[in-house]
Amino acid sequence: MENCIFCKILNKEIPSKFVYEDEHCFAINDINPKAKKHILVIPKKHIESLAQVEDMNLIKNLFEAIKNINKQENIKDFKTLINTGKNAGQEVMHLHIHILAD
């Protein structure tokens, strides 16, 4: 999707280190971290928000990735956050799950 920051990161048009990648998604450190570890888990497919998800297998895949990332990063206690819609604070209109850990 044109003009989407996360699609540009996925396509390497904007450089960003991937902390994790699998078939369905990738993960990067948040540019403006709100916890000691703040990771964004992003599906490779451009979907605007949780409200647009039709295939719930995607959600399963994202949470499987979260388990893998947390194992890799030695994160045991954490919060997850999905902002859905501008009025709920979603800034980047490409679905992503925040992992926040102190």
Q: Tell me whether residue 7 or residue 75 sits nearer to ligand 5GP (CB atom).
A: 7
Verify binding: residue 30, ligand 5GP, rule CB under 6 A: yes
Q: Tell me whether residue 51 or residue 79 sits nearer to Zn ion (CB atom).
A: 51
Beta strands of the chain (E only): which ranges?
A: 18-21, 25-29, 37-43, 79-81, 97-101
Verify binding: residue 47, Zn ion, rule CB under 5 A: no
Options 32, 54, 56, 77; binder of ligand 5GP; rule CB under 6 A: 32
Tokens 């388990």 sit at which residue? Answer: 67
Contact criterion met (CB below 8 Å) for 38 and 29 = yes
